[in-house]
A = this chain, B = another copy of it.
Amino acid sequence: MNTDIADLYVSRTERGSAIIARQEPVVYHQGNYAQALNEQQLERYAKDGFLVIENLFDEHEVQELLAELERLRLDPALKGMPELITEPGDQDALRSLFRVHQLSDRMAELIRDPRLVNVARQVLGSEVYVHQSRVNMKPGLYGKEFFWHSDFETWHIEDGMPNMRAVSCSLLLTDNNEHNGPLMLVPGSHRQFIACEGATPDENYKSSLKVQTVGTPDEVSLKLLIDNGGLESVRAKAGSVIFFECNTMHASSGNLSPWARSNVFTVFNSVENKLEAPRNGLAPRPEYLAARQHTDTIVPATELEPDELLMVG
């Protein structure tokens, strides 16, 4: 008897689109980690699939991180590196820089910050490592949209991430308002896996990081999710952090305002959820998109007393 359990989260095969109920918990009540989030925040995260904590970093820290972004943007040593993604149609406009926690000491320090990593350890109920990190700069006036997608769908199919046991943190470095293409999320969407139509082209990531066309939900499923959960755009000040579950459906509009939208984005994955082989016979993506070698457990920069970590949402 074959004891292999079939992959429940099949996607991008001839089966076509489907809505599949999530199998895993959202909050893993395991281990004995700092209570970085209080009960109310945990409940909110479990229900909506995301949580915004305003002003988690102060103005001085934001200025310091913005200066580091500017330094990275102009660093001639980074030019031509595959980690550097430009805007569609403009080779000089930096859109994202990946693997930033290994390219910058300041960013390495940031991802060990207990305000981030202890939230990840608490919700994932285990030690964690960085699956992916990047800074995103959505320039004013010409920043392009990201269409709807679940990160987990891509990470599962293209990277072989077995389960929904990862959390993304977006630390806002600029104010996000209704005009500058803020993150839009579908509350509750993390409880459904939307299997997508269409096969994955070879080296899909080379274009999908600019404009995503595969791994996006069909119209019927997407409308159903939004009918059920509505839409929420995150309007928050620089220094705020959005924690969102790896399967939460999200998008962002183009930025027609003159105000850039920059953030540091880190994905913490559970050490119990390390990558397997990509699905559908795909070749593994580069290390800077999906860590396979560098999966060392993150030790928080400081071990604060639990009391000091209580956050007010």
Residues of A participating in the B interface, judged by any CB pair closer than 8 Å: 140-141, 145, 147-148, 178-179, 181, 184, 219, 222-223, 226-227, 231, 233, 251-254, 256-258
Contacts and interface: CB of A to CB of B under 8 A. Distances in A.
Residue of A148, A179, A181 ringed by the most chain B CB atoms within 10 A: A179
Contacts of A223: 140, 258
A141 B178 contact: no
A145 to B, nearest CB: 5
26 contacts: A140-B223, A141-B148, A141-B222, A145-B145, A145-B254, A145-B256, A147-B256, A148-B256, A178-B178, A178-B233, A179-B184, A179-B231, A179-B233, A181-B253, A184-B256, A219-B258, A223-B258, A226-B257, A226-B258, A227-B258, A231-B257, A251-B256, A252-B256, A253-B253, A253-B256, A254-B254
A254 B144 CA distance: 10
A148 B222 CA distance: 29
A272 to B, nearest CB: 34
Contacts of A178: 178, 233
A215 B233 CA distance: 31
A260 to B, nearest CB: 12
A227 B140 CA distance: 13
- Copies of this chain present in the complex amount to 2
A258 B222 contact: yes
Contacts of A219: 141, 258
A148 B252 CA distance: 19
A276 to B, nearest CB: 32
Contacts of A227: 258
Nearest to A225: B258
Residue of A140, A141, A181 ringed by the most chain B CB atoms within 10 A: A141
Contacts of A253: 181, 253-254, 256
Contacts of A184: 179, 256
A226 B258 CA distance: 8
A84 B25 CA distance: 50
Nearest to A179: B231
In the A-B complex, the 4 residue pairs with the closest CB atoms? A178-B178, A223-B258, A253-B253, A251-B256
A26 to B, nearest CB: 24
Nearest to A253: B253
A231 B140 CA distance: 13
A294 to B, nearest CB: 34
Contacts of A233: 178-179
Nearest to A146: B256
A67 to B, nearest CB: 22
